Amino acid sequence: MDADLTWLDDPETFRVNQVPAHSDHRGYATVAEADQQHSSLVQSLDGPWQFAFAKDPMHRPRDFYQPDTDRSTFHDIEVPGHIELAGYGQIHYINTAYPWEGKHYRRPAYAMGAEKRERGMFSTDPENTVGAYVKHFELNQTLVNHRIAIEFDGVEQAMFVWLNGQFVGYAEDSFSRSEFDLTPYIHPGDNLLAVEVFKHSTAAFLEDQDMFRFSGIFRSVRLVAKPALHVEDLTIRATVDGTLKHGHLQVETTLSALHHVTGHMRLQLLNAENESIWSQDQALARTVTVQTTVAAPRLWSHQDPYLYRLQIELFDDHDQLVEVVPYVVGFRRLVLQNRVMILNGQRLIINGVNRHEWDAHRGRAVTLADMHSDMQVFHKYHINAVRTCHYPDQVAWYTLCDRNGIYMMAENNLETHGTWQKMGVVEPSYNVPGSLPQWQAAVLDRARSNYQMFKNHPAILFWSLGNESYAGDDIAAMDRYYHDADPTRLTHYEGVCRNRAYEDRISDMESMMYDPPAAIAAYLENDPQKPFINCEYMHDMGNSLGGMASYDALIDRYPMYQGGFIWDFIDQALWCQDEVTGNQVLRYGGDFDDRHSDYEFSGDGLLFADRTPKPALQEVSYYYGRRD
Amino acid sequence: MDAGTKLKLVYGDVTLGVSGSNFRYLFAYDRGGLESLVQNGKEWLYRVPQPAFWRATTDNDRGNGFSLKSAQWLGADLFSACTAIAVKVDGHAIELPIAPVNNQYSAIETAQSVDVQFTYTTPTVPSTTVTISYHVGADGQLVVRSRYRGVAGLPELPAFGIRLCTPTLATGFDYQGLSGETYPDRMAGGVAGTYHVAGLPVTPYMVPQECGMHMATQWLRVTRETTLNNADTDTSPFELTIRQDQSPFAFSCLPYTPSELENATHIEELPVARRTVLTIFGAVRGVGGIDSWGADVEAPYHIASDEDHEVSVIIEGPVASPRG
């Protein structure tokens, strides 16, 4: 198959030749590697790549991926990173309206009629910037002779991939991992990986988050070797019954083999003291499902984020260890009881924040140090929950939440408010995804990627269908997907309040953003059918966060009021050199001649953009601390 | 009574000078206020204190249109004029001692106490008045009191207080009150204690705005090391201490006026910090937080313009202990 640029225009083409989404577990060659969480089966491709920038698809270097192409004009660029922060392409911040506002008249394909295909919208877009990336690599010895996959953790917003001149695949969904099988294309010795990144595609309509609009390979890239026996997918269900005394563990694995799936698997459950409390050997098969009971498991919660560890070892017919897969296990029980969300027998109170990934030097290409720093802030100020607004975060953040007992509302990558909210008015005349069949597969894929990748994280209590995308059959299909896939968690969708026709089909909780306390009380006084969560509240823009007492008071008055997520965790601004003084200063929307802009509207954090705390944090600490 | 414990009064043609041991205060008739507050040889006032009505627009103020609605108070903050002055000596009102009335006095005039009251009239429609009165005791203690007269027909007040501006920057301040930056609707998290703040930090909100409020304060001590006096080469720290009178007060101590903050769209646009702008507040409007595009500050945290407001604090004399 050849790459086809018009995929950019087609909402029904969003993944080509990608490996199906699966659990984010990691395979190791030995138990020692697993203990150190350093896999010899992984080869990072982060670091310098070669790069050429084009202002639009017509000016892009067309054959740059061919091994014999002259790339002497290419420059170095650092991966991961945003193209705009590397000095190519204009930095732009805009909230609701689409980034082409006032520059191009656009309606999403099919939104104005089945015949309105809108071909050429992005493939011939004169402002659709293109990044041509190449990376030479040789496989590390430890990867040689294995099947090789490549994982892109985040590429914004559409990419084509080639290896050694051969087309590998295509991906959209900037914030979900895209994985391709490189085995058929890989050479001994030098390999030439080429990635062509387009700033816009039909995915742009689905990724209208209130944020700086960037492009590029902004998260890590790595090669992953699959040994002769490999755990392709893993589903862990660690539950406890209503008495909270009888734990149940179910582990389902899907395996692949270089030749044949034969041999045996050893599963072990270890406690935090590294003592094995259960183990079982099992003959290998394509899928293996194992269950066991665990008496009086120590439950996972914010107060006590106790984690067991599952260790899966795959042995071949000669009893040689081939692959080790460890994964954390947290036993817990989340149920709706009398319309109240109950975790481990206790009413759940969410003392949460919305968190965009942000680093004032690096944009959304956040570092592990950023995440550790954020987690310290959560602890210090009694924040117990996070909504991954409005896209999946880097994997490491979910692991940190598991370990630190932070409840997660795991949101898939979706926001379309520009198609239905215009100058603050609900006006869904060209809303996507709506009930358009041509857009349903794309948004379902986003839900699937989110669920499949993160399904084993104990920290996740809720799947969130995205943000501010109105409501229709497509959103309802996402809700159904999450429920069909996962009986152990609840779904959330803010748009439940926007189109009541769908309220029974799109969220297990009533969710509003920025409702005043009195309006929430009115909902809770009038025979509420679902528990209430503020998916966004206490808009901490500038000097704000007054009046939190009124929200806090609802907790004692209404059992079905279960807290919320403050908007938001950190200001989005960028360190720049002042054009007058030369000093380093923080700049925001409009400071790059970017128009239309929403200027300082991205400064709503509990932290300033440089991660120093805003004064209001002590207020959050007080009210959240009372409920901690 | 020992003459040494009495105030020395100088009935000047332009000012009323009041002095004692290690202090001298000048009340200026032409400037319409306390022009000079010198303790231990150090000047504390750059210009006469003024009524404060404005706060630099917060993001929430902009979002809910409060600045538009209350814009008259920006004019009042900048342009209110002194329209009346009254003087009492030892509790007795005297005819304003300007020329030629002051010819009745001598070079040796003393008193136990002096009261000077300035009345400011706002350029609002309708207008109202604010008084700032100073009671000077024999030890140099100043009781400063301001009263706002409520009238119907004016927008809600962004702020109400007394703004003092020092000739040079403070190096920091100490206070007993609540930790951090607090507002009436955001002070539950403030922890009571005694705090030192180094320098005069402007909270670096992305767009400069109202900041640095400290509610429920018992006392405040501002420290400086420099003056504008060319003959003064001493750079050792010196202090001014302000204590609550009847009840705790709110204050902010910043290097900028609300207008200077208002003008900047980024922190780096603020002018070079030169002075200390100390505002003692009698009423503080909440900051709000429900949203930033229309939600009002909750009702209990508004400042009604048709009700009277008052604030009073004690500026300690030069020898008093700060924690007295």
Interchain pair B290, A547: CB under 8 A: yes
pLDDT, position B92: 98
Mean pLDDT value across residues B144-150: 98
Judged against a pLDDT cut of 60, whether residue B321 lies above it is answered with no
CA distance A505 to A490: 12
Strands A229-240, A246-257: parallel, antiparallel or unpaired by DSSP? Answer: antiparallel
Share the mean pLDDT of chain B.
96
**A178-181 β-sheet, strand order:** A42-44, A221-226, A147-152, A178-181
CA distance A565 to A409: 10
Judged against a pLDDT cut of 90, whether residue B46 lies above it is answered with yes
Mean pLDDT value across residues A500-529: 95
CA distance B82 to B119: 6
- pLDDT tens per residue, range A446-497: 999 999 999 999 999 999 999 999 999 999 999 999 999 999 999 999 988 8
Residues of A in contact with B285 (CB under 8 A): none
- Kindly report which listed range (A250-254, A493-497, B128-132) carries the lowest average pLDDT score: A493-497
Interchain pair B209, A543: CB under 8 A: yes
Residues 552-581 of A with CB under 8 A from B: 571, 573, 578, 581
> Tokens at residue A411, please?
């949101």
Mean pLDDT value across residues A554-572: 98
Mean pLDDT value across residues B103-113: 97
Question: Do residues B148 and B308 lie in contact, with contact meaning Cβ atoms separated by under 8 Å?
Answer: yes
How far is C-alpha A528 from the geometric centre of its chain's CA atoms? Answer: 31
Find, among A231, A221, A126, A127, the residue nearest to A171 by Cα. A221
Q: Residue B202: inside a domain, yes or no? A: yes
Judge whether A468 counts as a catalytic residue. yes
> Tokens at residue B102, please?
């002051």
Judged against a pLDDT cut of 70, whether residue B203 lies above it is answered with yes
Catalytic residue among A156, A232, A323, A468: A468
Domain count, chain B: 1
pLDDT, position B162: 98
Residues spanned by the domain of B304: 7-315
Looking up residue B162, the CATH number of its domain turns out to be 2.70.98.10
> Tokens at residue A287, please?
């899928």
pLDDT, position B324: 36
Sign of the dihedral defined by the CA atoms of residues A330, A336, A342, A345, in that order: negative
Judged against a pLDDT cut of 60, whether residue A177 lies above it is answered with yes
Q: Smallest Cβ distance to B186: which of A542, A609, A616?
A: A616
Q: Residue B54: inside a domain, yes or no? A: yes
Find, among B188, B176, B1, B10, the residue nearest to B87 by Cα. B10
> Tokens at residue B79, please?
């342009």
Find, among B220, B211, B217, B219, the residue nearest to B178 by Cα. B217
Mean pLDDT value across residues A505-529: 96
Q: Residue B284: inside a domain, yes or no? A: yes
CA atoms in the 13 A half-sphere facing the CB of A174: 30
CA distance A275 to A16: 44
Q: Residue B158: inside a domain, yes or no? A: yes
Q: Residue B324: inside a domain, yes or no? A: no
Judge whether A252 counts as a catalytic residue. no
Mean pLDDT value across residues B150-162: 98
pLDDT, position A1: 86
Q: pLDDT-based confidence at B3, cuts 50/70/90? A: very low
pLDDT, position B4: 56
Q: Residue B197: inside a domain, yes or no? A: yes
Interchain pair B290, A539: CB under 8 A: yes
- Please list the residues that pair with A409 across neighbouring strands: A387, A462
Interchain pair A623, B209: CB under 8 A: no
- Higher per-residue confidence, A512 vs A357: A357
> Tokens at residue A222, please?
């790595």
Percent of chain A with pLDDT over 90: 98
SS3 annotation, A283-334: ECCCEEEEEEEEECCCEECCCCECCEEEEEEEECCCCCEEEEEEEEECECCE
**Any idea how long chain B is?**
324
Q: Residue B155: inside a domain, yes or no? A: yes
Judged against a pLDDT cut of 50, whether residue A210 lies above it is answered with yes
pLDDT, position B1: 40
Q: Smallest Cβ distance to A542: which of B205, B265, B290?
A: B205
Concatenating the DSSP letter of every residue in A154-166 gives: -EESEEEEEETTE
CA distance A426 to A417: 9
- pLDDT tens per residue, range B282-320: 999 999 999 999 999 999 999 999 999 999 999 999 974
Q: Residue B2: inside a domain, yes or no? A: no
- Please list the residues that pair with A341 across neighbouring strands: A336
Judged against a pLDDT cut of 60, whether residue B26 lies above it is answered with yes
Q: In the 8-state DSSP scheme, what is residue A294?
A: E
Percent of chain A with pLDDT over 70: 100
Gyration radius (Cα) of chain A, Å: 24
Percent of chain B with pLDDT over 90: 97
Q: In the 8-state DSSP scheme, what is residue A225?
A: E
Question: Do residues A194 and A169 lie in contact, with contact meaning Cβ atoms separated by under 8 Å?
Answer: no
Q: Is B292 on the interface with A (CB under 8 A)?
A: yes
Q: Which residue's entry shows tokens 């750059």?
A: B46
